[in-house]
């Protein structure tokens, strides 16, 4: 199979645990592009948190793409949005009512700013710090939000989030999608929107089959992408549930897992 598209998550997939792209992984991805393969940087982050990695890999000059908000926004090399999905702001109130008695932080995005309720835990500032954008607390986030959202991000201790997940599924599971992007982050998404759908949109845009895609991921929000791709590759550090549905398991993000898999499948 000649692969025409390589898709990959950012944290703990493209990036190692020191939050950098290793030289070997970057060289492999650059070589793939020189061979005519397009790249897709796919993340749950908002666009300003994804674009710098696409720029670092010279994705745009090679006609590549990036996926933000777990498939909520898909952007091509010219900066045009080829797909966008929204979560009705009416969902912030029932979500926040479930979270109000917990120590889980509720976060939403508008432009390049994160807004959150005033509860603070060890994970409240993680996304803000990693991306380098402001996090602004508000008194009543359920009343504050009056715009269409791409997602609601919930941050807290993993065990408490598991309990919250079940309560949200019981109340809203038929109307929205709810899944983890990290053990400490739970995402509330528009129904049917995920990274796999983002890959399908890009394949339609390119006029190729999903069989011609090789995709890499490590966490729960990558499962749809791994299942959609012709070859879904789990990083060695991936969650077991993702490994169970992958076609291939490579080395971890600290050991050039992407590069080694691309070499194994003769992409580079």
Long-range CB contacts for residues 133-142, cutoff 8 Å, separation at least 24? 133/46, 133/48, 133/49, 135/107, 141/92, 141/96, 141/106, 141/108, 141/115, 141/116, 141/117, 142/92, 142/93, 142/96, 142/97
Q: For residues 95-124, give the mean pLDDT.
A: 93
Q: What is the pLDDT of residues 159-172, one digit of tens each?
A: 999 999 999 999 99
pTM: 0.93
Q: What is the pLDDT of residues 186-227, one digit of tens each?
A: 999 999 999 999 999 999 999 999 999 999 999 999 999 999
Is the domain of 172 the same as that of 209?
A: no
Count of the separate structural domains present in the chain: 2
Do residues 237 and 7 lie in contact, with contact meaning Cβ atoms separated by under 8 Å? no
Q: What is the pLDDT of residues 238-252, one digit of tens each?
A: 999 999 999 999 999
Q: What is the pLDDT of residues 9-59, one digit of tens each?
A: 999 999 999 999 999 999 999 999 999 999 999 999 999 999 999 999 999
β-partners of residue 152 are 188
Is the domain of 99 the same as that of 183?
A: yes
Q: Give the CATH number, domain containing residue 153.
A: 3.30.1240.10
pLDDT surpassing 80 at residue 228: yes
Instruction: Please say which residue of 164, 190, 216 terminates a domain.
Output: 190
Q: Give the CATH number, domain containing residue 201.
A: 3.40.50.1000
pLDDT surpassing 90 at residue 105: yes
Is the domain of 174 the same as that of 141?
A: yes
Round the average pLDDT of the chain to a whole number and report it.
Answer: 95
pLDDT given for residue 267 in this prediction: 95
Enter the tokens of residue 187.
């995402």
Enter the tokens of residue 80.
């045009």
Instruction: Please say which residue of 149, 168, 190 terminates a domain.
Output: 190
Q: What is the pLDDT of residues 257-266, one digit of tens each?
A: 999 999 999 9
Q: What is the pLDDT of residues 125-145, one digit of tens each?
A: 999 998 899 999 999 999 999
For 22, the domain range is 5-85+193-264
pLDDT given for residue 85 in this prediction: 96
Burial of 104 (0-12, 13-18, 19+ CB in 10 A): buried
Q: Name the phi and psi angles at 69, rounded to 5.
A: 50, 40
Q: Name the phi and psi angles at 224, rounded to 5.
A: -60, -40
Is the domain of 21 the same as that of 54?
A: yes
Enter the tokens of residue 68.
């933000």
Is the domain of 76 the same as that of 199?
A: yes
β-partners of residue 6 are 39, 214
Question: Got the DSSP string for 199-261?
Answer: HHHHHHHHT--GGGEEEEE-SGGGHHHHHHSSEEEE-TTS-HHHHHH-SEE---TTTTHHHHH
pLDDT given for residue 120 in this prediction: 87
Is the domain of 199 the same as that of 256?
A: yes
CA distance 42 to 196: 10
pLDDT given for residue 1 in this prediction: 75
Is the domain of 74 the same as that of 129?
A: no
Do residues 155 and 141 lie in contact, with contact meaning Cβ atoms separated by under 8 Å? no
């Amino acid at each position: 199979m000649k692969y025409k598209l390589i898709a990959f998550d950012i944290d703990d997939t493209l990036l190692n645990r020191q939050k950098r792209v290793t030289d070997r992984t970057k060289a492999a991805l650059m070589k793939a592009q020189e061979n005519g393969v397009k790249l897709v940087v796919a993340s749950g982050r908002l666009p300003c948190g994804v674009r710098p990695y696409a720029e670092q890999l010279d994705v745009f000059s090679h006609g590549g793409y990036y996926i933000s908000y777990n498939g909520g926004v898909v952007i091509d090399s010219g900066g045009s949005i080829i797909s966008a999905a929204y979560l009705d702001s009416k969902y912030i109130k029932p979500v926040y009512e479930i979270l109000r008695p917990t120590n889980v932080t509720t976060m939403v995005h508008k432009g390049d700013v994160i807004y959150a309720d005033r509860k603070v835990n060890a994970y409240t500032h993680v996304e803000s710090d990693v991306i380098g954008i402001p996090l602004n607390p508000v008194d009543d986030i359920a009343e504050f939000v009056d715009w269409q959202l791409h997602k609601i991000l919930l941050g807290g201790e993993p065990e408490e989030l598991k309990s919250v997940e079940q309560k949200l599924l019981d109340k809203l599971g038929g109307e929205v999608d709810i899944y983890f992007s990290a053990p400490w982050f739970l995402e509330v998404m528009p129904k049917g929107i995920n990274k796999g759908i983002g890959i399908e949109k890009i394949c339609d845009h390119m006029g190729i089959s999903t069989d011609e895609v090789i995709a890499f991921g490590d966490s729960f929000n990558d499962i749809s992408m791994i299942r959609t791709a012709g070859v879904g590759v789990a990083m060695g550090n991936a969650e077991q549930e993702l490994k169970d549905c992958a076609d291939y398991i490579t080395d971890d993000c600290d050991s050039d897992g992407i590069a080694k898999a691309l070499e194994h499948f003769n992409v580079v």
